[in-house]
Structure 1
């Protein structure tokens, strides 16, 4: 979930359960040859070894999506796909760092309200910025209203008692149920499969929910084991922890919130959030294969092209 700028700012479903019987053979042939039963890669290798954070002063969760091992002993190529939080507060030095990545385009999943609040991306010269909003189901506006009220009773009524976490699970459901969201996410994946395309960075505000779901999908389609793809998703908690703590402290010190811990469920990624989206995939499509092909519009040729381009 996106959070205002400072000072305002379980268990995963099994891969087998997510894949429909009809589509499993086609997807697994692309994602995990020759067999899931005897992966040649080392599933116990810590995911942290694969994650390459791009250190910036104005963003805290920008990283290369490469380095993860696949079921057939290969690795996702570094330097082609990057994920991140918003780029509206980058310093000149940060822009120079991004310039060294050779990016062709930066895809922004934020809605217009977020862009107005945090600012448009600062990008190197020659990099195309693409607005491709994925809805947050109105949560950003509700969060601003709760914090802006300065009313601890209203904030407790809106965010306490498990309500903040419940908001988040509803947002994750929309990644699957919203046709507009599916179109934006699917278009991005299709573009990543284009042969010879320049490196891409996609992001939302915090780089953890919309960006996290898209990244989990991409890694899974590339044949990265589910545990490693999930670890990459959960790693946002590590990279964002210090910054998010400063946001909460700023809210308390400024008198905006008496209990800033109310927003912790909005700042974090959690297994239960990811599980909610995956359960919605199963409920709506019967499995991951139908969600990807029918919901996101990726045909078998595109799935093969993704792997051909991004796995070495």
Structure 2
């Protein structure tokens, strides 16, 4: 079951996290602005985080924070498109193995590349080993029977339990909060898990209701659906997988994955406020800075 607002925030710190007491029900936001995808040929899940409504009737500003999948296959035309966003930096959450497979980011001139790896808990290795085996029995043993989904839930738990992961998430949020820091794009390989958790946290911390933060998180499924289906069909036609549907839990985001991370937040910290302060090292000034920069 999804955690309640009180369970997420804990007994203290709710006001500091959400920055405002929720207005009366009649004044609460009912709709979110359409997602603004950045149209690129070499990436499918790059989008502006702006447009989400906050509890006090404001909205997250456009043009300041972008989330995405890997940028190693961008075309020259894509670089022109990205160049028009005025990015100051691009933060890459991928581990070295992923970078070696897909290539380093291609970025417009003047955009600082920041390598900030967050462990995928062995996801990339597990996936490549299963596919590379070409063995349907082994693939079923590794990924079938709910094992792929259970593994993804474990990946999300490490977002909370792993100290190096917490440091990377915290540094990224501090970068975004810094006055005058310029627009930021952060990404992983598919733009859905490490990137999705960062985005969910950021939206909640600036006062976006859980409903809309989760809606943004789950949007990766719709955005990536056609591309991911082509990947599965390619695996089938190439003789690599007899049943490529086994990888669907690894390709998707699911509420149960998010809930696995939030369960660790509750178990380890008692609520979201203590997780972001004690776990990620964000002080009240940083939390206020996120709100001041991003909402209006």
Scaled to the shorter chain, the TM-score interval is over 0.9
The match for 1:65 is 49
The reply to whether residue 74 of structure 1 matches residue 86 of structure 2 is: no
The match for 2:265 is 281
| 2: CA distance, partners of 1:311 / 1:13 | 25
| 2: CA distance, partners of 1:147 / 1:292 | 37
The match for 2:128 is 144
Where structure 1 has 5 or more consecutive residues not aligned to the other structure, the ranges are: 1-10
Equivalences for 1:1-312 in 2 at 5 Å? 11-28=1-18, 30=19, 33=20, 35-36=21-22, 38=24, 42-45=28-31, 47=32, 49-312=33-296
- Residues 39 and 72, structure 1, Cα contact 8 Å, conserved in 2: no
| 2: CA distance, partners of 1:247 / 1:284 | 37
| 2: CA distance, partners of 1:208 / 1:53 | 14
Report SS of the residue matched to 1:171.
Answer: helix
| 2: CA distance, partners of 1:209 / 1:284 | 20
Q: 1:150 to 1:121 in 2, by over 3 A?
A: same
| 1: CA distance, partners of 2:266 / 2:84 | 41
Q: 1:188 to 1:163 in 2, by over 3 A?
A: same
Deviation readout 1:254-300 (Å, 9 max, x if unpaired) = 00000000000000000000000001000000000000100000011
Deviation at 1:39, TM superposition (A): 5.5
Report SS of the residue matched to 2:213.
Answer: helix
Report SS of the residue matched to 1:146.
Answer: helix
Report SS of the residue matched to 1:256.
Answer: coil
- Residues 41 and 69, structure 1, Cα contact 8 Å, conserved in 2: no
| 2: CA distance, partners of 1:25 / 1:92 | 45
Task: Give aligned pairs, total.
Answer: 296
Q: 1:262 to 1:220 in 2, by over 3 A?
A: same
| 2: CA distance, partners of 1:117 / 1:40 | 50
Report SS of the residue matched to 2:42.
Answer: coil
Aligned Cα root-mean-square deviation (Å): 1.1
